[in-house]
């Protein structure tokens, strides 16, 4: 395939990096270079932040009435809907996830822009009661200014929607940086902002290695808010940089989510949910149900059901409709997963399916990891505590509800959890006992633009999606007005 050179969007112009440097985009299925992407450095970051800052301070964006901003967001949603096929194909080529999944996902993304476009003109302040008879107080919700939105490779456009839709609806401008492992769909998507009629500089997209230019972006004095999805390690690093200047952050980091199956569950549904939780997207989702907590009395029978589905999963070309599992996104990711698998075996976990393996000969030359299941896992093992981000399930036994809760919560993460049971009392009571930002009961991996999403503990801070999300991009101001006819003693605070 002929490689294509992409450009970045800065201040309404399509630009290469000032240095002229590029990096390659590799298709993980055939390992071919298919595109070159600008390798931005501090100079490009500075230009993008400057453009966003000017668009916020002197451009038309902040003077636009909120309903106009909302209309632009809705127009953008329409344009995404018209470009689903192209954008989803680019995502699959970039990260190897199934086209069937990416096209459904991209087809859903307009809803974020419709929903938050609808909220743009519903940001209401409040008149506050006060204890001072000749004073009046009201609050305003104001945008921060320039938002740095940093996304991961597993769902570039969906993660961008989580951040851009509320940030723009709230009146901020944005510098968006996709992952170096999957930048092209975001650069293509950026064209739609122009088509929708957004003023220049309101959205800027820069590409590059986070390790090289990430600090220039998050530490930039004109960036006031950082919204990040990625690894715990990078999240911690960003948090330190942001904390130095007390910048606001929304961080969506990793997880080690438990999927808890009780003996009284509908076992067919539960088996499908467990598979969806760990094999969908080759396990490369932050909410992957990577720990299967299984009640003693159904241990063998349930495991057999899961094994039967996992064994039949078809690895192959992610563009084909009958493929169940595509390659993992990059050689880095492939190596990391294999290291985790080897460590699990060294720790004494029993590999009953898959395992550290060479390429699956039936699946082409891609970076394939076979569905892998470990038993004999105790919850303190590396494989039960560290995020693998691959199709790798650790099975852990429990006796009763109390033990299930203890194991589920015995992790530094707290992103999500699944509970499978037909006992109504348990289904109602257990979610409150699980320390995670999302709990699914008799379902798994459901998200919506309308409902809050975000982690507890080291899985992150702040919420994305739903009404809460727009508040992440607004700061509150308190305004006092005096109606007193004579001013009082200046040395006494009232």
Catalytic positions are 252, 286
Give dist(CA 104, CA 322) in Å, integer: 15
Closest CA to 433 of 455, 412, 459, 414: 414
Pure H helices in 286-440: 299-312, 331-346, 382-385, 401-409, 424-433
- Is residue 347 within 8 Å of 402, Cβ to Cβ? no
Query: Of 20-79, which residues contact ligand TXE (CB under 6 A)?
Result: none
Contact flag: residue 180 with ligand TXE (CB under 6 A): yes
Q: Which of 8, 9, 76, 253 binds ligand TXE (CB under 6 A)?
A: 253
Give dist(CA 419, CA 442) in Å, integer: 6
The region of 80-88, 113-121, 232-240, 344-352 touching ligand TXE under the rule CB under 6 A is 232-240
**Furthest-apart CA atoms within the chain: distance in Å:** 87
Number of residues that bind ligand TXE (CB under 6 A): 28
Give dist(CA 253, CA 234) in Å, integer: 9
By beta-carbon proximity to ligand TXE, the closer residue of 62 and 231 is 231
Contact flag: residue 237 with ligand TXE (CB under 6 A): yes
346 CB-contact burial (10 Å; exposed 0-12 / middle 13-18 / buried 19+):
exposed
Give dist(CA 229, CA 152) in Å, integer: 6
The distance of closest approach from Cβ of residue 367 to ligand TXE in the complex, given in angstroms and rounded to an integer, is: 13
Contact flag: residue 94 with ligand TXE (CB under 6 A): no
By beta-carbon proximity to ligand TXE, the closer residue of 102 and 196 is 102
Compute the residue count for the chain. Answer: 494
Q: How many CA atoms lie within 13 A of 168 on its CB side?
A: 35
Q: Where are the beta strands (DSSP E) in 29-90?
A: 33-38
Q: Which of 73, 164, 274, 286 binds ligand TXE (CB under 6 A)?
A: 286
Question: What is residue 253's DSSP assignment?
Answer: -
Question: How far, in Å, are 147, 229, 413 from residue 240 at the CA level?
Answer: 17, 16, 19
Q: Which of 27, 172, 234, 465 binds ligand TXE (CB under 6 A)?
A: 234
Type and span of the H or E element at 416: strand 416-420
By beta-carbon proximity to ligand TXE, the closer residue of 202 and 329 is 329
Closest CA to 282 of 344, 340, 326: 326
The distance of closest approach from Cβ of residue 225 to ligand TXE in the complex, given in angstroms and rounded to an integer, is: 14
By beta-carbon proximity to ligand TXE, the closer residue of 224 and 229 is 229
x-marked contacts with ligand TXE along 304-333 as a string, rule CB under 6 A: -----------------------------x
- Is residue 282 within 8 Å of 327, Cβ to Cβ? yes
- Using DSSP's 3-state secondary structure scheme, residue 93 falls into helix
By beta-carbon proximity to ligand TXE, the closer residue of 3 and 211 is 211
The distance of closest approach from Cβ of residue 298 to ligand TXE in the complex, given in angstroms and rounded to an integer, is: 30
The region of 14-22, 93-101, 106-114, 174-182 touching ligand TXE under the rule CB under 6 A is 174-182
The distance of closest approach from Cβ of residue 419 to ligand TXE in the complex, given in angstroms and rounded to an integer, is: 22
- Characterize the bridge pairing of strands 392-398 and 372-375: parallel
Contact flag: residue 214 with ligand TXE (CB under 6 A): yes
Q: Residue 112 is encoded by which pair of tokens?
A: 């974020």
Contact flag: residue 198 with ligand TXE (CB under 6 A): no
The region of 54-62, 124-132, 214-222, 298-306 touching ligand TXE under the rule CB under 6 A is 214-222
Q: Give 248's strand partners.
A: 225
x-marked contacts with ligand TXE along 119-158 as a string, rule CB under 6 A: -------------------------------xxxxx----
The distance of closest approach from Cβ of residue 62 to ligand TXE in the complex, given in angstroms and rounded to an integer, is: 26
x-marked contacts with ligand TXE along 385-414 as a string, rule CB under 6 A: --x-x-------------------------
By beta-carbon proximity to ligand TXE, the closer residue of 196 and 253 is 253
Give dist(CA 82, CA 153) in Å, integer: 23
Contact flag: residue 215 with ligand TXE (CB under 6 A): yes
The distance of closest approach from Cβ of residue 29 to ligand TXE in the complex, given in angstroms and rounded to an integer, is: 18
Q: How many CA atoms lie within 13 A of 199 on its CB side?
A: 21
Chain residues binding ligand TXE by CB under 6 A are 150-154, 177, 179-181, 210-211, 214-215, 218, 229-231, 234, 237-238, 252-254, 286, 333, 336, 387, 389
């Amino acid at each position: 395939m002929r490689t294509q050179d992409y450009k970045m969007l800065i201040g309404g112009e399509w630009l290469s990096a000032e240095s002229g440097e590029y990096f390659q985009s590799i298709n993980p299925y055939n390992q071919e270079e298919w595109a070159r992407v600008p390798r931005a450095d501090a100079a490009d970051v500075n230009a993008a932040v400057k453009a966003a800052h000017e668009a916020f301070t002197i451009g038309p964006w902040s003077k636009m009435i909120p309903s106009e901003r909302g209309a632009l967001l809705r127009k953008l949603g329409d344009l995404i809907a018209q470009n689903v096929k192209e954008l989803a194909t680019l995502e699959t080529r970039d990260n190897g996830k199934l086209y069937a999944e990416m096209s459904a996902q991209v087809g859903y993304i307009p809803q974020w822009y419709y929903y938050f476009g609808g909220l743009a003109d519903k940001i209401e302040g409040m008149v506050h009661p006060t204890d001072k008879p000749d004073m009046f107080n009201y609050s305003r919700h104001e945008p921060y200014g320039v938002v740095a939105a940093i996304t991961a490779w597993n769902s570039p456009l969906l993660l961008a929607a989580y951040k851009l839709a509320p940030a723009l609806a709230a009146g901020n401008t944005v510098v968006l940086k996709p992952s170096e492992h999957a930048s092209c769909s975001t650069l293509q998507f950026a064209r739609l902002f122009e088509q929708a009629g957004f003023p220049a500089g309101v959205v800027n997209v820069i590409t590059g290695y986070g390790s090289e230019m990430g600090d220039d972006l998050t530490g930039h004095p004109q960036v006031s808010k950082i919204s990040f999805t990625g690894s715990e390690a990078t999240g911690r690093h960003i948090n330190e940089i942001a904390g130095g200047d007390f910048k606001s952050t929304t961080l969506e980091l990793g997880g080690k989510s438990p999927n808890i199956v009780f003996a009284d569950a509908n076992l067919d549904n539960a088996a499908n949910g467990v598979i969806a939780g760990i094999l969908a997207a080759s396990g490369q989702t932050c909410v992957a149900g990577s720990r299967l907590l299984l009640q003693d009395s159904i241990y063998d029978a349930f495991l057999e059901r899961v094994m039967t589905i996992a064994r039949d999963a078809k690895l192959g070309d992610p563009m084909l409709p009958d493929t169940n599992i595509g390659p993992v996104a990059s050689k880095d990711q492939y190596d990391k997963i294999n290291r985790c698998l080897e460590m699990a075996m060294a720790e004494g976990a029993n590999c009953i399916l898959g395992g550290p393996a060479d390429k699956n000969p039936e699946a082409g030359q891609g970076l394939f990891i076979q569905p892998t299941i470990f038993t004999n896992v105790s919850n303190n093992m590396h494989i039960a505590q560290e995020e693998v981000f691959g199709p790798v399930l650790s099975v852990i036994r429990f006796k009763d509800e109390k033990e299930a809760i203890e194991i589920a919560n015995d992790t530094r993460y707290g992103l999500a959890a699944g509970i499978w049971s037909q006992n109504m009392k348990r289904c109602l009571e257990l979610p409150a006992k699980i320390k995670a930002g999302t709990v699914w009961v008799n379902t798994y991996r459901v998200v919506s633009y309308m409902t809050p999403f975000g982690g507890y503990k080291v899985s992150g801070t702040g919420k994305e999606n739903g009404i809460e999300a727009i508040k992440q991009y607004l700061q509150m101001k308190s305004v006092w007005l005096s109606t007193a006819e004579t001013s009082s003693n200046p040395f006494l605070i009232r």
